[in-house]
Structure 1
Amino acid sequence: MKNISTALFLSTLAGLSLGIAHTAQAQTAARFSTVEFKDTTLNDALEMIFQAANNPAHTIDPSASLVPIANMTLQNIQWDSALRTLANNNNFKVSRGADGSYLVEPREPILQDGMEGSGMLGSSRIPGGSGSGMSPANPFGGGRSSG
């Protein structure tokens, strides 16, 4: 599935003309007519955006690989706006370090299953994820069995 997502993204780039004479120019000139992501992770989608922008220095929090993106289409958008849109829609934030590098990290800490009870959020806080966080009562009756 990752190959399908990559192929869709790269085929979109085929019609773009990036100013790649200077990295800074490429970073400000990269504009996508259409970008479509299917069956991928937030990490892979962000990496594809960074690659299209001539790979500016960046760090993506490893928890982004736990966030699924089933289907997302962005049209007529600058690369940095696409980056921020992907991050914001999945409860991540983008910031710049003093050296100008990009940092993409969750707005709230994300933990994998089995780490609950530490006072931090469980994986149930991952968009599209399921975990052992709090669940609403069953509206059709029947309680949760503990064994």
Structure 2
Amino acid sequence: MSATVQIVLKPSVFAGSGKEGDFAWMIEQPQYAQALFVFNDNESQFLAYMDGISVGGGNAVIRPYQGAGARAAGVPTGPGYDALTTGNKAIIDRALARVSSLIKSGRYTMLVYSADETDPSLLGHGIFDVGEDVRRYIVAELKTIASSAA
């Protein structure tokens, strides 16, 4: 019988380059070697990520880490995600299924996401205007993924 690994869900707030909260810096630090970073992706890049991975703006700067030996996974937050709809929820759920699959691989001990600076139960955002229900839904699902992995 194999031991289960507890997945730590870590909210992260951007507070400047080269320190905690800066995904580009964090992903290179040894204490995050077994972390999967969830970044806010744009819908078109998420849907095309298998065809070519490119650096994005904001925390999507870590998009290239989605490839082989994934260290990052994008979850779409726009454009046009000002409310949770059946359409964008389906795309978000597709991204979250990938996050869940990666976490269940056993390669990770931590799941890191960008959090709102005033409320860690909300996903942080900067480039797109993302609805609160979308932001809350994504974080709630990440909590479920982390807790069900053990």
Task: Give the TM-score normalised by structure 2.
Answer: 0.27
Larger RCO, structure (CA 8 Å, separation 6 or more): 2
Task: Give the TM-score normalised by structure 1.
Answer: 0.27
Larger % of helix: which?
Answer: 2
Larger Rg: 1
